[in-house]
Amino acid sequence: MLSKCLLELHQHGLLLKSDSVLPSVTTFVAGAPVRGSWWSHPASHQIFQTLEQLSHHPDVLVVKLVAGKDTLVDRCLWPAIYAIATAGEDWQWKGLTKDARTLYTALSAAGQVEAMGAVARSLEGRLLAHAEQFHTAAGHHSKRLESWVRWARRVGLEEPDLPILEAKRAIEGIFPAAKLPWKRTSAV
């Protein structure tokens, strides 16, 4: 199933973890769109295993992109995501709380921080940070936020010379009607 999902991701460029309309991992694994929580689906174990494998694959980036959902991004689109994430546009900053700005400053200085809650989610949803969920030693869920500069260095992505409009068009062209963070009319 992993190879099928990787092929679909490479063909589309983007793949949602779960969505009942747009191409998603849950749909490919289950064989049909999954409505509601995929945890109750008979293929839930295979879905989970496939999502875990994809999330850790070296050619897959997971970001909150389409409709604020976890979206898998093929390596070929990483320069576009990086250009958009590091553009510092108004949609990223307008309405950002003081706590979120403070966390962003700490993240920029350290390159990586652990954080949870609404403040971390706001940075992730505005593409101001790359985020990965993990389990703490105590077994709790937490997030590791990483600056895009550190992420790019870690994955070997050279800083792209990609104009922001071209980067946005590359993403928008895949799912033209999709809700993307920079197309939202209100703050994230």
Give residue limits of the domains in the chain.
1-57, 77-188
What pLDDT score was predicted for residue 133? 84
What pLDDT score was predicted for residue 188? 41
Residue type, 85: A
* Closest residue by Cα to residue 116 from 100, 105, 94, 92: 100
- Taking 70 as the pLDDT cut, the residues of the chain under it are 185-188
Alpha carbons within 13 angstroms on the beta-carbon side of residue 31 total: 4
**Cα gap 57→83, rounded to integer Å:** 22
**Cα gap 180→89, rounded to integer Å:** 14
**Cα gap 163→24, rounded to integer Å:** 28
